[in-house]
Structure 1
Amino acid sequence: MSFREEVEDGRGDLKKPFLHTGSWYRMGSRQSSVMSSAQGIRDSSISVLACVLIVALGPIQFGFTCGYSSPTQAAITKDLKLTVSQFSMFGSLSNVGAMVGAIASGQIAEYIGRKGSLMIAAIPNIIGWITISFARDISFLYMGRLLEGFGVGIISYTVPVYIAEIAPQNMRGGLGSVNQLSVTIGILLSYLLGLFVNWRLLAVLGILPCLILIPGLFFIPESPRWLAKMGMTDDFEASLQVLRGFDTDITLEVNEIKRSVASSTSRRTAIRFADLKLKRYWLPLMIGIGLLALQQLTGTNGVLFYSTTIFESAGISSGNVATVGVGVIQVIATAVSTWLVDKTGRRILLITSSSGMAISLLVVAVSFFSKGFVSEDSSLYSIFGILSVVGVVCMIVAFSLGMGPIPWLIMSEILPVKIKGLAGSVATLINWFVSWVITMTAPLLLDWSSGGTFTFYTVMSVFTVIFVAIWVPETKGKTLEEIQFSFR
């Protein structure tokens, strides 16, 4: 029997609980006005897509933070009289804050739910942007960037996990890829708006995604799998019914989730780091950590954070405009990946993506090395400059097709529910730590040797192809419970 039929039979009423209790509707005991309100409830039911679009405001904030340093580098450096190393520190501090947020993200999301976690993440982001917009010296820039990073660290774990837990198995890949698509939209917005407004106003505009996200969280259900794990049976079933539609029979999915929760130990049992060494846990953890680390080691964030400088060094006079063009291409390529991931599968996209990145990065490395052997006035110098730009653009396209969205999707799919909070925090922490290393060293390495820097990124992309081919399983078309059972 569907949830709708239970309501129409007069077996219960539907209420909105408080945010942290989790579900959009809850069965109650009142019987009055059920029949008159049932049709309105069905008409106002919230689809999975609507939920994803609301939480996608978090990754848009994520992307805006990542892209902010590129169009503002020259203006901030001039206005506050910063050195290259000071601005590099500013650009990388969001990663430091994200590491702290990553440490807390899993436990916050486990104890107060996915929605409550996103609410907490929005607040430091807003404060951070305000702090940057009013900055008079480097200390305020650093403080604001750290606060932004803390919120982004929580968002980067919570959003893909929430989407994976609410999506039907046949849509999980595409909906999960919306996370990275939203990141690229955020990056593009920061690039585009950076052409027209100064860095202080751009910081103020960075507040908007979280200002919209906060009220939006009151209109979506909590993750039914989290509710089931926490023993909120009524909320769990009601939340799942809303997500699947009031005319849908959810009996099979309810029973599968209940069996999965029951097969693990008590939900109140504390998870220790020693538990991650258990054989049934270390393989999915290794895959999740490996993909998220390699996502950063291929150097994409270093390119994105300092793309304007890279284009100018390649001979492009208007680096900011070229960067906007890259942002547009990245959004389009990620949108294609969102459409393909449930059709072709995760593995083939990852292998294609990392292979394309390796070839593109090799072209960039060879171009920068070759420029050092020809005169700046020669036609060959201009040709090598064009080749380096083409290589960077192709690298971004290849990254967006697989290595951008899929590592986060895989992480949210393969981590067992019992260790998801702790293991997810560890994987997210390592991702942000490597990202910090890359963004901190990128401008210094590019100043030292652009060709050498891109050669290292090429090697990491080749290693990624090997890693995916050997270790990463295909998860297309499987429920989360089936994926977790396969590792036992």
Structure 2
Amino acid sequence: MSFRDDTEDGRDLKKPFLHTGSWYRMSSRQSSLLGSSHQVIRDGSISVVLCVMIVALGPIQFGFTCGYSSPTQDEIVADLDLSVSEYSIFGSLSNVGAMVGAIASGQIAEYIGRKGSLLIAAIPNIIGWLAISFANHSSFLFMGRLLEGFGVGIISYTVPVYIAEIAPQNMRGSLGSVNQLSVTIGIMLAYLLGLFTNWRVLAVLGILPCLILIPGLFFIPESPRWLAKMGMMEEAESSLQVLRGFNTDISVEVNEIKRSVESSRKKTTIQFAEFKRRRYWYPLMIGIGLLVLQQLSGINAVLFYSSNIFERAGVSSSNAATFGLGLIQVIASGVTTWLVDKAGRRILLIISSSGMTLSLLLVASAFYAEEFIAQGSIIHDIMGIVSLVGLVAFSITFSLGVGAIPWVIMSEILPVNIKSLAGSVATLANWMTAWAVTMTANLLLTWNAGGTFTIYAAVAAFNIVFVARWVPETKGRSLEEIQSSFR
């Protein structure tokens, strides 16, 4: 089965394409394009899970980068004689690098594929961790953090898109949620290893996910939707057959992809003025809104500076409490992975945002109360426990929906012909907001901890309204059905 002739639009598809880091010469029957994935992966259901497990190493790297700054703050500040402002810059620079990576991510994923993008993302991550590990001055720290951020920016866009494009529609939500689950695993690992190693050794350990990811990419197929869009039609069918299993009839899904690709080719270039059309601005508005509100709820303030927050709350073993927080996030994210295709996206987002609002108000109340209570008193200790409970509840409820689902929805709703541009814009908005929250968190907490968490609670409350009013349910619908509904 073929979508169209190899020479359509005057293109000679026998010319070489850059594919997963190597040059291949195209031919209509050349199944070797998929590399060793034909030999390694045979069963359809297993193949998709294996693919997701391999690319999930990227979000683990993402999470490790987020979690690194919490257990290492005191050591780095002491060893390199940094001020609070300088360390805040260090913590936030990963978000600056991620903004640059987000801008480039859509185009990179468009031109060299999803696998090639992840390969490119791994390299600056490795260099960045080495720069931090051997740093003897703040400039090396800053450079390493920027490089890490660049790689993470590409990963944060590419992994959800790849998973959405390879997953069967009845598993897409669960498999898409693995992205956030992997982020929380990376955060937890950073917290755990930070209890036993110094900051230089921890930076070296941060290289491991990418070192495993790079060879793993050569054993999984490329996204069939990307292959189809690039005109590699028979290779797209071969990739889909590997993903669904060799005994599975893929004709219906192939025809859906064919119609979507042909529709997108009717107009290959999109002008910014055309984003005024509902079919473009509405899904983009939803994607940007969910990803911005996710960050404005203050999650990065908690993740990056959790040890200091616990210390201010009177918890004696703040690093151990931080690890406990990371472990709870992993468990909650695992529950989301199981629930998202059963309960649906919208209801989980509403429940998650409601729980976050109440949790943040509890934390804010505890910090407000502590201002009027003498330190060392029983009531002061109780308020410390209340704030700890509130932060744990916030992390659980965040992981139940707001952490994972915005990325799932973003990868589902963007039309194929604007996905690279719109996806980059939505990812950039997320990272710009993350940078602003991370950069201001320490300063806001110094100003007024109770007021800071009140602001975050107000954002979480608005997220309930946003989801209830504008976000559609995408459970149980194919990507092509979802995207065509905006027309």
Which of the five TM-score ranges fits, normalised by the shorter chain?
over 0.9
Which residue number corresponds to residue 105 of structure 1? 105
Alignment of 1:343-382 (within 5 A): 343-382=342-381
1:402 aligns with 2:401: yes
Alignment of 1:50-449 (within 5 A): 50-266=50-266, 269-449=268-448
Which residue number corresponds to residue 14 of structure 2? none
Residue 373 of structure 1: how far off its partner (Å): 1.2
Which residue number corresponds to residue 6 of structure 2? none
Residue 286 of structure 1: how far off its partner (Å): 0.3
The secondary structure found in structure 1 opposite 2:265 is: coil
Which portions of structure 1, spanning 4 or more consecutive aligned residues, are displaced by more than 4 angstroms? 20-23, 39-46
Which residue number corresponds to residue 9 of structure 1? none
Superposed CA deviations along residues 166-197 of structure 1, whole A, max 9, x for unmatched, are 00000000000000000000000000000111
Count, aligned residues: 465
Distance (Å, rounded) in 2 between the aligned partners of 1:133 and 1:26: 46
Cα pair 2:101 2:150 within 8 Å, conserved:
yes
Distance (Å, rounded) in 2 between the aligned partners of 1:115 and 1:18: 8
Distance (Å, rounded) in 2 between the aligned partners of 1:398 and 1:353: 5
Distance (Å, rounded) in 2 between the aligned partners of 1:473 and 1:285: 13
Distance (Å, rounded) in 2 between the aligned partners of 1:408 and 1:431: 10
Cα pair 1:26 1:238 within 8 Å, conserved:
no
Stretches of structure 1 that go unaligned for 5 or more consecutive residues are: 2-16, 31-36
Mean alpha-carbon deviation: is it higher for 257-266 or for 202-211? 257-266
Superposed CA deviations along residues 363-393 of structure 1, whole A, max 9, x for unmatched, are 0001100111122132211111110110000
Residue 325 of structure 1: how far off its partner (Å): 0.3
Residue 50 and residue 220 in structure 1: after superposition, are their counterparts in 2 closer, same or farther (change >3 A)?
same
Mean alpha-carbon deviation: is it higher for 357-366 or for 258-267? 258-267
Stretches of structure 2 that go unaligned for 5 or more consecutive residues are: 2-17
Residue 411 of structure 1: how far off its partner (Å): 0.2
Cα pair 2:43 2:245 within 8 Å, conserved:
no
Residue 443 and residue 391 in structure 1: after superposition, are their counterparts in 2 closer, same or farther (change >3 A)?
same
Residue 265 of structure 1: how far off its partner (Å): 3.0
Superposed CA deviations along residues 23-54 of structure 1, whole A, max 9, x for unmatched, are 9x986279xxxxxx9x9677487610000000
Cα pair 1:22 1:235 within 8 Å, conserved:
no
Residue 175 and residue 40 in structure 1: after superposition, are their counterparts in 2 closer, same or farther (change >3 A)?
closer
Distance (Å, rounded) in 2 between the aligned partners of 1:328 and 1:162: 27
Cα pair 2:57 2:213 within 8 Å, conserved:
yes
Which residue number corresponds to residue 11 of structure 2? none
The secondary structure found in structure 2 opposite 1:191 is: helix
Q: Which amino acid aligns with 2:232?
A: M
Among the aligned pairs, what percent are the same residue?
A: 71
The secondary structure found in structure 2 opposite 1:222 is: coil
TM-score by length of 1: 0.92
Cα pair 1:349 1:401 within 8 Å, conserved:
yes
The secondary structure found in structure 1 opposite 2:120 is: helix
Q: Which amino acid aligns with 2:66?
A: C
Distance (Å, rounded) in 1 between the aligned partners of 2:325 and 2:459: 22
Residue 369 and residue 214 in structure 1: after superposition, are their counterparts in 2 closer, same or farther (change >3 A)?
same
Distance (Å, rounded) in 2 between the aligned partners of 1:257 and 1:22: 25
The secondary structure found in structure 2 opposite 1:274 is: helix
Which residue number corresponds to residue 4 of structure 1? none
Cα pair 2:19 2:116 within 8 Å, conserved:
no
Residue 19 of structure 1: how far off its partner (Å): 2.4
Residue 43 and residue 346 in structure 1: after superposition, are their counterparts in 2 closer, same or farther (change >3 A)?
closer
Cα pair 1:22 1:113 within 8 Å, conserved:
no
The secondary structure found in structure 2 opposite 1:47 is: helix
Residue 446 of structure 1: how far off its partner (Å): 0.4
Residue 440 of structure 1: how far off its partner (Å): 0.4
Residue 264 of structure 1: how far off its partner (Å): 2.0
Cα pair 2:313 2:387 within 8 Å, conserved:
yes
Cα pair 1:42 1:246 within 8 Å, conserved:
no
